[in-house]
Amino acid sequence: MAFTGRATYSDWRTIKEDVSDLISIVTPHETPLLDRLGDADRPAINTLHEWLEDELAPNTIVASSAVASAATDTVMGVVGGKAPYLQTGAILRHQVTGEYFQVSVIAGNSITLTRGFGGTTATSFAAGTSLMVIANASLEGADVTQDSSTLRPRRSNIVQLFKEDVIVSGTQQAVSLHGGIDDEYEYQKMKKIVEAVRNLEKAVVMGISSGNTIGSASAVRTMAGIRAMITTNVRSVGPSLTESWLGTAMQDAWSQGGTDIDLILCGVAHKRIIDGFNSTRKLLPNNDPRFNNLVSEYESTFGLVTIMLSRWMP
C-alpha cells in the first residue's frame, strides 16, 4: 500500500539544510622537502641568483679514448677538461687491472702516460675507463712549471614568481556563508598561500629553466629544480629498483667526493620497493601484533640515509 502522509520527498522545500561548519580540502599540499631544507640562510636580492663552486684536484680521471696495451708511452685524452689539474710526475692506477701509470707530459686536455709503472703489466682499456689519481711525484729541487689549481665556476638559477590571484566581490564578502567562513577574501588568501607553497615544493623538485631573458618584460622566469640541476652521477633505473642498484648509485656519489649523503627523495613506486627491502617483516616490540614493512631510514656502507616519500617525484 502506498504511503499517503507527509514525506521528505513531497515536502523537501521546508527541510533545513544540513551543512557542516568544516571544510575539507582534498587536494594534497604536503611539502616534505621544503620542511627538510628549512629557510634559506640568505635571501635572493636579484632575479638572477648566482654562486661560486670550488673543488679539490680530481681523485679520478676518465679516458676519452681507447688505450692499447703494447705502447711504451701512450697519449690519452681526458674527459671533462681535467688534464690541466694534474701535474707532470703524477701516479695513476687502473682500478681493475692494477696497472700503474706516470704522467710524463700534459698538453691541453691530453696526457702522455708511461705504461707499466712500478713493474706492473700494461693492459688495454676502453674509452670511459676511470683511472685513480694516487699522488704527485716530483724531483727534489724541481722548478715550478705549471699551475694546476682548479677554476671556480659561477653557477646560477632564476628567481621564479609564484602568483595566485584572488578576486572576491563586496557582496560575496557581505553574505553569510557555510563552512564557518567569516570573510571569503581572507579564506581564499589563506588557501592560495597553501597552494603557492605546494607549487614551490613541486618546482624545487621538478622545475625547469626555460625562456629566461633578463631585462625582458615578456619573458616568464622559471627556475631549475633539483632534477634539472643535477647533471653528473645521473643513473636511470625505471620501475625495477633493487638494493644493489641503490647501493651502486650511492657508491658513485661517494666516489665523486660525496661525504654527506643523508636523504633519498623518492616517489611512491620506489618507496614501496625500498620498504620491501625489509623482507623479514618483523613484529613490532611490546607484543604489538602489527607487522612492520616500512623503511624510513636506510643504513649502508655510506652512512645513515633518511628515506622521504614525495608526491611530486616521478
15-60 confidence digits (pLDDT tens):
666 666 766 666 667 888 998 888 888 888 888 888 898 888 888 8
Q: For 266-303, write each residue's pLDDT tens digit.
A: 999 999 999 888 766 566 677 777 667 788 899 888 88
| Average pLDDT score over the chain | 85
Q: For 179-210, write each residue's pLDDT tens digit.
A: 888 889 989 998 998 899 999 999 999 999 88
pTM as predicted: 0.77
224 vs 20, higher pLDDT: 224
pLDDT value at residue 239: 83
> Where residue 132 falls among pLDDT bands split at 50, 70, 90?
very high
Contact 99, 74 (CB under 8 A): no
**Residues 254, 256, 258, 259, CA torsion sign:** positive
